[in-house]
Amino acid sequence: MTLSVGLWITRGELQIHADFDADEGTTVALLGPNGAGKSTVVDCLAGLTDPDDGWISLNHETWIDVPTGRFTPPEERSVGVVFQTGLLFPHLSANENVAFPLRARGVPTPRARERAGALLGRLGFPADRADARPGELSGGEAQRVALGRALIHEPRLLLLDEPTTSLDVRARSELRPLIRSILAGFAGVRVLVTHDPVEAMTLADLIVVLEHGRVTQRGTPDEFRNAPRTSYVADLVGVNLFAGRLEPSGDGAGRVVTPGGDVIVAWPGTLPGVALDDVLAVLRPADVSLHVAEPEGSARNVLHGTIAEIAIEGERARVRLHSAPPIVAEVTRGSVDRLGLREGGAVWASFKAVEVRLIVP
Amino acid sequence: MNASQARRSTPLPIGVLAAIGIAFIGAPIAALLIRAPWSDVLDQLSSSGAWTALRLSIIVSLAAAGLSFVLGAPVAWVLARGAIPGRAFVRALVILPLVLPPVVGGVGLLAALGRSGVVGRWLDAAGIQLTFTIWGAIVATTFVAIPLVILATESGLRSLDPRFERAAAAMGASRWYVLRRVTIPLLRPQLAAGLVLAWARALGEFGATITFAGNLAGRTQTLPLAVYQARQTDPGAAIIVSLILVVLSLLVLVTMRDRIFAR
């Protein structure tokens, strides 16, 4: 273990407690909705603010340890940061911004400028824009400068706080492969803050979910896909999640009783036939069928409701229903047209009990 | 709202009052131009000692602005960021010269730094005399001008996003390096504004200078003092010297206007 973090911070109403460890050469994604406290954790790691309690250590070097009072000043920590708000120095050119960490460490100006220029080139920053001020740069150019400034001094810890959030769709799709290759090529510990589940699932080795200042789940992307623990995570990974009490209902079946409605499931052979609290049931949207009339057939779960939202993603459509319980179905785009689905319209949904996967505490 | 929209929608009462206001400020300046004895302006300039006073005014005002900057900017830093006891009181104290009649400042300076003053007697013993010298004029002018540097710099420091400086530290910059490469450059508009306003105030300084440094032609007689003296003997010369001050001030305000006001 090389990075070890445990933080307790109070920011106004929000009480933040986050802890995680990470090895060199791995990427931690700090995932969560806006206002969950992610950027505060980044500020602590970067030394911009101090936690009320807790510790940060990297390679057995204590950056801060509140109980013992040990502290490394921010300028002596080996960290590179891309801040969410950019924080490029407005009075310095693109090249001077990237050269700043070198200059601050006493590298002579010509050498620092040369290295900054070379790095900017590798990051795909146009050479003829090197003297432009941050105010004159496009979003994509500014983020390349921010990445360069975070990398130039070869830090041991790389922090990327929402590196693509401020960009438009096109610049974002241009920058993603670059960020992917930077993360893959960076030898130290990488921490990526994001509210984009796709980024987290595709770029991280370990995902730490922060909701309302608390870590609600941590694990590998595979663990998240298979076993989401909160409805936020389930939403992120695109599955239906039902949390409630599992009760046996005879002939090899059971029902998960949730506040929003019941779901019939196959009774797991490994469980004794008694009710169980705090059970999670996961259902993939693609396993849900939609019908215009009440369906007949073997599916044990049949729901009726109105369509809250239809989101077209390429050839697929995600259809969110106001039903009991609420549910998301994924169908082909052709089905949407064929069934005449529209937002606000009534529809039937069905899925088999065996498609519902149970996660038992 | 942009400027052209704002221009289009001036309500009539505001327009009328604004016109009166501009006329009120412009009238004395226009009157100076009308009443100036243009026929013998060159004679007046050479005989009234105006050139000597102009040279002295430029030296004294520049030195006072520089001294105000060197001492005032650190005061602003301490007020904005330092852990000092009685901050509100200290702030009121250092802004006081802006509110006090300058002649009171002059009397205070005499009591402190005059030949028999609280500190002045020690200076006198060491052979240093400020009263009735150009140094005295610089000291008196600085006393009056320094609050403008303090006000501008402190407001700049307070509006500066501290995350820039903290981010610089996270990039390995020492406190001194952060100050030199981040804080001061980001404060440049406010520092320039403070410097220019202090200079303008120093150029017009009269009360503290005449009280503390006296009115000695060639030594402490700056342009405002020269106007005052000429006024008693030769009103035409007073107008000519006044016009020199007008031209000088206007020149600086116009060349510096983008730096100071267009923010």
pLDDT one-digit tens code per residue, B14-41: 999 999 999 999 999 999 999 888 888 8
Are A178 and A252 in the same domain? Answer: no
For residue B185, the chain A residues in CB contact (below 8 A) are 89, 91-92
The structural domain count of chain B equals 1
For residue A87, the chain B residues in CB contact (below 8 A) are 163-164, 167
Cα separation, B119 vs B125, whole angstroms = 10
CB-CB: which of A73, A80, A91 is closest to B185? A91
CA dihedral B169, B175, B178, B183 (to 10 degrees): 120
Are A74 and A198 in the same domain? Answer: yes
Residue B131 sits in a domain whose CATH number is: 1.10.3720.10
Predicted confidence at residue B1, as pLDDT, reads 46
For A174, phi and psi rounded to 5 degrees?
Answer: -75, -35
Q: Does the beta carbon of A125 lie under 8 angstroms from any beta carbon of chain B? A: no
Are A166 and A257 in the same domain? Answer: no
For residue B159, the chain A residues in CB contact (below 8 A) are none
Are A222 and A265 in the same domain? Answer: no
What does DSSP assign to residue A51? -
Q: At what angle do helices B87-99 and B134-159 cross, to 10 degrees?
A: 130
Cα separation, B54 vs B225, whole angstroms = 11
Q: Is the pLDDT of residue B263 over 50?
A: no
Cα separation, A288 vs A330, whole angstroms = 7
For residue B188, the chain A residues in CB contact (below 8 A) are 91
The structural domain count of chain A equals 2
Predicted confidence at residue B231, as pLDDT, reads 87
Q: Does the beta carbon of A105 lie under 8 angstroms from any beta carbon of chain B? A: yes
Residue A65 C-alpha, separation from nearest chain B C-alpha, in angstroms: 18
What ipTM goes with this model?
0.76
Residue B41 placed within a domain: no
What does DSSP assign to residue A70? E
Cα separation, B40 vs B140, whole angstroms = 34
**Could you give the residue ranges of the DSSP H alpha helices within chain B?**
3-8, 12-35, 41-47, 50-81, 87-99, 102-113, 120-125, 134-159, 162-170, 175-178, 184-186, 188-203, 207-212, 223-233, 235-260
Residue B45 placed within a domain: no
Classified as helix, coil or strand, B53 is helix
Q: Is the pLDDT of residue B3 over 60?
A: no
Which one, of B188, B248, B211, lies nearest residue B53 by Cα? B248
Of A232, A255, A279, the one marking the end of a domain is A232
Least confident residue range of A198-207, A314-323, B3-12, B182-191: B3-12
Predicted confidence at residue B5, as pLDDT, reads 53
Dihedral sign, Cα of residue A95, residue A98, residue A103, residue A104: positive
Contacts across the A-B interface (CB distance below 8 Å): 63
Tokens representing A330 are 């994924």
Are A293 and A188 in the same domain? Answer: no
Least confident residue range of A170-179, A282-291, A317-326, B236-245: A170-179
Q: Is the pLDDT of residue A272 over 90?
A: no
User: Mean of the pLDDT values across residues A77-90?
Assistant: 91
Q: At what angle do helices B134-159 and B50-81 cross, to 10 degrees?
A: 40
Of A193, A217, A232, the one marking the end of a domain is A232
Longest dimension (CA), chain B: 68
Residue B83 placed within a domain: yes
Predicted confidence at residue B4, as pLDDT, reads 52
Kind of pairing between the strands at A357-359 and A276-283: antiparallel
* pLDDT band of A301, cuts 50, 70, 90: very high
Least confident residue range of A171-175, A331-335, B150-154: A171-175
Sheet with strand A79-82: strands edge to edge = A70-71, A61-65, A53-58, A3-11, A14-22, A214-219, A206-211, A27-31, A189-194, A157-161, A79-82
pLDDT digits (tens, 9 = 90+) for A21-76: 999 999 999 998 888 889 899 999 998 889 999 999 998 899 999 999 898 988 88
Q: Is the pLDDT of residue A141 over 90?
A: yes
pLDDT digits (tens, 9 = 90+) for A339-358: 999 989 999 999 999 889 88
Mean pLDDT of chain B: 89
User: Mean of the pLDDT values across residues B219-247?
Assistant: 89
Q: Which residue type sits at B89?
A: F
Contact B166 A77 (CB under 8 A): no
User: Mean of the pLDDT values across residues A204-233?
Assistant: 85
For residue A100, the chain B residues in CB contact (below 8 A) are 168, 171, 173, 181
Are A57 and A160 in the same domain? Answer: yes
Are A25 and A165 in the same domain? Answer: yes
The vertex-A179 CA angle with A170 and A203, nearest 5°, equals 105
User: Mean of the pLDDT values across residues A91-117?
Assistant: 95
Residue A209 sits in a domain whose CATH number is: 3.40.50.300
Q: At what angle do helices B50-81 and B188-203 cross, to 10 degrees?
A: 140
Residue B227 placed within a domain: no
Residue B36 placed within a domain: no
Are A326 and A220 in the same domain? Answer: no
pLDDT digits (tens, 9 = 90+) for A117-133: 999 999 999 999 999 99
Q: Does the beta carbon of A146 lie under 8 angstroms from any beta carbon of chain B? A: no
Tokens representing A19 are 């802890």
Least confident residue range of A231-235, A256-260, B1-5, B201-205: B1-5
> Could you tell me if A125 and A94 are in contact, meaning their C-beta atoms sit under 8 angstroms apart?
yes
Residue A328 sits in a domain whose CATH number is: 2.40.50.100
Q: Is the peptide bond before B11 cis (omega within 30 degrees of 0)?
A: no
Share of chain B above pLDDT 70, in %: 94
Name, in order, each residue with C-beta under 8 angstroms of A129's C-beta and a sequence gap of 6 or more. Answer: A94, A137, A141
Question: Residue A332 to residues A241, A302, B43: CA-CA distances in angstroms?
Answer: 22, 20, 97
Are A36 and A120 in the same domain? Answer: yes
Complete DSSP assignment for A207-258: EEEEETTEEEEEE-HHHHHH---SHHHHHHHT-EEEEEEEEEEETTEEEEEE
Range of the domain at A273: 238-359
Question: Residue B29 to residues B20, B32, B238: CA-CA distances in angstroms?
Answer: 15, 5, 13
pLDDT digits (tens, 9 = 90+) for B138-147: 999 999 999 9
Are A216 and A141 in the same domain? Answer: yes
Range of the domain at B76: 55-220
Are A143 and A281 in the same domain? Answer: no
Are A87 and A182 in the same domain? Answer: yes
Cα separation, A167 vs B17, whole angstroms = 48
Kind of pairing between the strands at A214-219 and A240-250: unpaired
Cα separation, B142 vs B203, whole angstroms = 11
Of A184, A205, A232, the one marking the end of a domain is A232
In terms of pTM, does the model score above 0.80? no
Predicted confidence at residue B262, as pLDDT, reads 46
CB-CB: which of B164, B169, B188 is closest to A74? B169
Q: Which residue has the tokens 């849900």?
A: A288
Predicted confidence at residue A280, as pLDDT, reads 83
Please count the other Cβ atoms lying within 10 Å of the Cβ belonging to residue A200.
26
User: Mean of the pLDDT values across residues A224-241?
Assistant: 77
Cα separation, A187 vs A183, whole angstroms = 8
Residue B167 C-alpha, separation from nearest chain A C-alpha, in angstroms: 7
